[in-house]
Structure 1
């Protein structure tokens, strides 16, 4: 399906900024901007150490606020208070959940105990243990697989039909129910019926958006991690299914509603994490960078919908192992060194709404 390429940003096509940035987005499908890649390597040599003094408080406080918000929403007699508590809980749990992205990139010995603590406090209670991202997300960063049919986290959304965008976002509302079914029903049944177990692993065990992706069976030490994480998540899901017998439907329905808001927010962020303009061809590192999105300051709201460094998603594709707390400084150095009109600036965008508008227009404009 051939779709007309939209302008680089969501600004009017006639603006001087758009004209200049179109020039920046030359064809990097076959050749990299070596100057930018060299700067990305040389300017950040003193960065890159994951600091427990930042990771631990950020994750623990976010999770604590989230669970306190759920409790307040359940116990509140005033509807407005319950709604406000639910919104706060959704945002806080969303931030806590996004540490799963960091777990796939930091060295295993960088933060002793952090992976285990995150799984016990966040991943398993939210039925999204780290195994659902580990071993999957790294494929998205492989130079020869990004944006291809083998990429579990890529769909050419900008080249699809207009109805695909709202469907892509709204399906996330069902994520909490789907996860309860996956862990609370399909995992126990899979222990009895191995073919079902294999099917669940291949199709429903990764945080992916590519419907053609099939996950390989786990082996070695990773298989052991999957076993204990999946077992605890299954027990928790069964407890959630049985909880109305003891506490009624109100607590579980409120918690599911809060988790649904969190899932939709994450899906919206995913929608604008890339420009989604690749039709399956292998891309250079620079092309992958320009197909990804930074939403840097001065705007502050991006820190809410793209937390834990995800507002620098394009920069993250240049340096995947950089801890989230070092990305703002790395961005400042690169933008200062490379300057206005550079390839690096071509991945910087103003915010979520202009990006959604750009992708939506792309789905409606055909050659």
Structure 2
């Protein structure tokens, strides 16, 4: 939804309506069957789209960041900083695709993404791989074992602004992790254990503890952490040559991207589950689609994430196919269907719904 267009009363009513307990929602087998049958021809990832999108996003982002650092005009620097934050944010969100695509689908893409985006932004792919898939596990979603779930709609009102604003500190925390904690952990095993368990995943559940890496993830973790540590130390070392200003500008841009991602995360789900296991349909309805005609969602939820509820039905669907999959399912299932129940008009109504839910007496 475009933020400048008015929100109709029907949309607000849907956004604030009382819903049944999530555990009471049975699976809509017709919807699940349609999601499987109508999208079989859309499941192949197209390398040309992935490579072009990622490279252009990263290239524009770094060019704009360099401009923000080098120009002498403050207004122009701010504009370039915004362009850099939005572009690098889009490039960074390919980490979500890396956690789902088959390892043979895009040869070289994971390595290239880590070298161009993941390590420079101190968010290599191991921080999502092996973690995000737990969020999609049938018996984990919305429970205490889900690393990416908090019942935000059932928490205190102050929890929402805190949830968003804490993202401002993420780039500084990542710099400290890779420049200080990783080298210390290499010589002090207990520090290494704590860092891995608690500070090595893009999770929002403070109770989550990550298990040691296994299989092909283990060597990836080694070289990605080594690359991240070398890069973080180089960033700090650069301040002795060119001063602190370039690094602080870069961290400010990354902080803006992190806050935008946290806002997107805030409205990716309704966060109304109290910890009990849910059916697939209940998980779908607790997740959010923000489909067209609004266009601004493509900025704050890029790389297919505006179809987050649909993604929970079809987690292996390439991001470039989700729009067509949505059109097919919406046309086939029609108005008033379970599928339509996960469609929402935009970020503002979703934030209002969650905020109002935090204010209800319990």
TM-score (norm 2): 0.95
Tell me by how many angstroms 1:243 deviates.
1.3
Q: Which residue of 2 aligns with 1:358?
A: 353
Aligned-partner SS, 2:229: helix
Q: Distance in 2 between matches of 1:314 and 1:176?
A: 28
Question: Could you tell me which residue of structure 1 aligns to residue 259 of structure 2?
Answer: 264
Check whether the contact 2:22–2:272 (CA below 8 A) recurs between aligned residues. Answer: no
Shift in CA distance, 69/27, structure 1 to aligned 2, threshold 3 Å: closer
How far the C-alpha of 1:18 sits from its partner, in A, is 4.1
Query: 1:222 Cα deviation (Å)?
Result: 1.2
Pairs within 5 Å for 1:313-324: 313-324=308-319
- The residue that corresponds to 1:284 in the other structure is 279
1:193 equivalenced with 2:188 (yes/no) = yes
> Using a 3 Å threshold, how does the CA distance of structure 1 residues 19 and 235 change in structure 2: closer, same or farther?
closer
Cα 1:176/1:204, change in 2 over 3 Å: same
1:17 Cα shift? 8.5
Between 1:217-226 and 1:282-291, the stretch displaced more is 217-226
Instruction: Give the drift of 1:240.
Output: 1.0
Aligned to 2:3: none
User: C-alpha displacement at 1:326, in angstroms?
Assistant: 0.3
Unaligned runs of 5+ in 2: 1-6
- Which residue of structure 2 aligns with residue 43 of structure 1? 38
CA offset digits 1:24-66 (Å, max 9, x no partner): 9686635200110011011111111000110000000000000
The corresponding residue for 2:302 is 307
DSSP-derived class of the 2:198 partner? helix
Runs of 4+ deviating beyond 3 Å: 15-30
Q: For the residues of structure 2 that align with 1:262 and 1:236, how far apart are their CA atoms?
A: 19
Partner of 1:242: 237
Residue 96 (str. 1) matches residue 91 (str. 2):
yes
Per-residue deviation, residues 326-363 of structure 1 (Å, max 9, x unmatched): 00000000000000000000000000111011101111
Superposed CA offset, 1:108-156 (max 9, x none):
0000000000000000000000000000000000010000000000000
Aligned to 1:4: none
The 10-residue stretch of structure 1 (41-50 or 305-314) with the greater mean CA deviation from structure 2: 41-50
Moved more, 298-307 or 238-247: 238-247
Aligned 8 A contact 2:142 2:275 in 1: yes
Match status 1:59 vs 2:54: yes
Change in Cα spacing, 1:22 to 1:251, as seen in structure 2 (3 Å) is: closer
Question: How far apart are the structure 1 equivalents of 2:328 and 2:115?
Answer: 37
Match of 1:142 in 2: 137
Alpha-carbon contact 2:128-2:201 (below 8 Å) kept: yes
Structure 1 gap ranges (5+): 1-9
Report the number of matched residues. 356
SS in structure 2 of the partner of residue 366 of structure 1:
coil
Q: CA RMSD in A?
A: 1.8
CA displacement at 1:16 relative to structure 2: 9.4
For 2:343 and 2:97, how far apart are their aligned partners in 1? 22
Q: TM-score, normalised by structure 1?
A: 0.94
Distance 1:105 1:20, change over 3 A: closer
Deviates more, 1:19-28 or 1:159-168: 19-28
Does residue 252 of the first structure (1) align with residue 269 of the second (2)? no
Partner of residue 7, structure 1: none
CA distance in 1, matches of 2:182, 2:269: 33
Asked if structure 1 preserves the Cα contact closer than 8 Å seen for 2:68 and 2:76, the reply is: yes
Cα gap change, 1:35/1:188 in structure 2, threshold over 3 Å: closer, same or farther?
same
Q: CA contact under 8 A between 1:24 and 1:343: conserved in structure 2?
A: no
Does structure 1 retain, via aligned residues, the 8 Å contact 2:28–2:338?
Answer: yes
Query: 2:116 is matched with which residue?
Result: 121
CA distance in 2, matches of 1:135, 1:346: 30
- Give me the whole-angstrom Cα distance separating, in 2, the residues matched to 1:24 and 1:164: 22
User: Does 2:332 align with 1:337?
Assistant: yes
Give runs of aligned pairs for residues 197-212 of structure 1, distance below 5 A.
197-212=192-207
In 2, are the aligned partners of 1:24 and 1:346 still within 8 Å (CA)?
no
> 1:68 aligned to 2:59?
no
Which whole-Å CA distance do the structure 2 matches of 1:26 and 1:256 have between them? Answer: 42
Shift of 1:22: 6.0
